A = this chain, B = another copy of it.
Amino acid sequence: MAYQLFYWPGIQGRGEFVRLALEEAGAEYEDIARTQGVPALMEAMKNLAPAHRPFAPPFLRDGELLLSQTANILYYLGPRLNLAPADEAGRLWTNQLQLTIADMVTEAHDTHHPVATGLYYDDQKAEALRRAEDFTHKRMPKYLGYFESILADRAGSGACLVGDALTYADLSLFQLVEGLSYAFPKAMAHLAPAIPRVSALRDAVASRPRIAAYLQSPRRLPFNEQGIFRHYPELDAAHEAPQYYANPT
């Protein structure tokens, strides 16, 4: 039976990490809110498996099983889609990387919503400028430098994060880099010389046949200013403007 993915239909968001795994594996799946509309998503949140109710999308249904939390969904899918090692230590290491990527995704989101998810960006723009300043100056180099160092340690073992074959952690790092490049093109260009292996991994993922086909298809939604990664030029410029940092007001 096909997998059913439940996520907001207008954004890549956290659902995209699951979509990429399903697409790379050529798995059969239905993206419910895109085929049946948002009411089907809301209905599912209320009525599917009340004992295992998700806190928020994305969630995935595989027969009787309903799973949420992106990293948890990928932990389940990994070996089934041949996108994670089969052994426990390898699965845990892949999960550890995924959770670190997830932490950075949350921080990327909070650059434009540092006060409240429920408020508009314009109502928290002053705070966003300060947070983006820190994110581009400190957090981006720290996180991406970490992934670069993992890849550097593995020189000779192939260009992927785990073992000798592609895993969902590679797909997720690709998506992270894509999102950051969309949201913070200047900051990413500034950082590029320090992360050649991360960039090479991004390119390798983008050129995989199924991923390349997916990225060209209408199933791949464009980035936009409703998602996690948003391009607000003033936030990207914050990495050149330390005065936001020193003089908040």
Asked if A96 is at the interface (CB within 8 A of a chain B CB), the reply is: yes
18 contacts between A and B (CB under 8 A): A51-B153, A51-B154, A52-B96, A55-B143, A55-B146, A68-B96, A69-B99, A72-B92, A72-B96, A110-B110, A114-B115, A115-B130, A116-B130, A116-B245, A118-B134, A118-B138, A127-B127, A127-B248
Q: Cα distance A52–B100 when bound, in Å? A: 13
Contact yes or no, B118 A131, CB < 8 A? no
Contact yes or no, A55 B100, CB < 8 A? yes
Q: Cα distance A75–B100 when bound, in Å? A: 15
Q: Chain A interface (Cβ within 8 Å of chain B)?
A: 50-55, 65, 67-69, 71-72, 75-76, 88-89, 92-93, 95-96, 99-100, 103, 106, 110, 114-116, 118-119, 123-124, 126-127, 130-131, 134, 138, 143, 146, 149-150, 153-154, 245, 248
- How many copies altogether? 2
The answer to whether A124 and B116 touch (CB under 8 A), given A51-B153, A99-B71, is no
Contact yes or no, B115 A134, CB < 8 A? yes
The answer to whether A95 and B69 touch (CB under 8 A), given A51-B154, A55-B100, A248-B126, is yes
Distance between A51 CB and nearest chain B CB, rounded to angstroms: 6
New A-B contacts (11) at CB < 8 Å, excluding given A68-B96, A69-B95, A123-B248: A53-B149, A54-B96, A55-B103, A67-B96, A69-B96, A114-B114, A114-B115, A115-B130, A115-B248, A116-B130, A124-B248
The answer to whether A116 and B99 touch (CB under 8 A), given A72-B92, A127-B127, is no
Contact yes or no, A95 B72, CB < 8 A? yes
The answer to whether A134 and B149 touch (CB under 8 A), given A69-B99, A92-B67, is no
Contact yes or no, B99 A72, CB < 8 A? yes
Neighbouring B residues of A89 by C-beta, 8 Å: 65
Q: Which of A106, A154, A248 has the most CB of B within 10 A?
A: A248
Neighbouring B residues of A95 by C-beta, 8 Å: 69, 72, 75
Nearest opposing residue in chain B for A69, CB measure: B99
The 7 closest A-B pairs by CB, nearest first: A116-B134, A69-B99, A115-B130, A55-B100, A127-B127, A69-B96, A72-B96
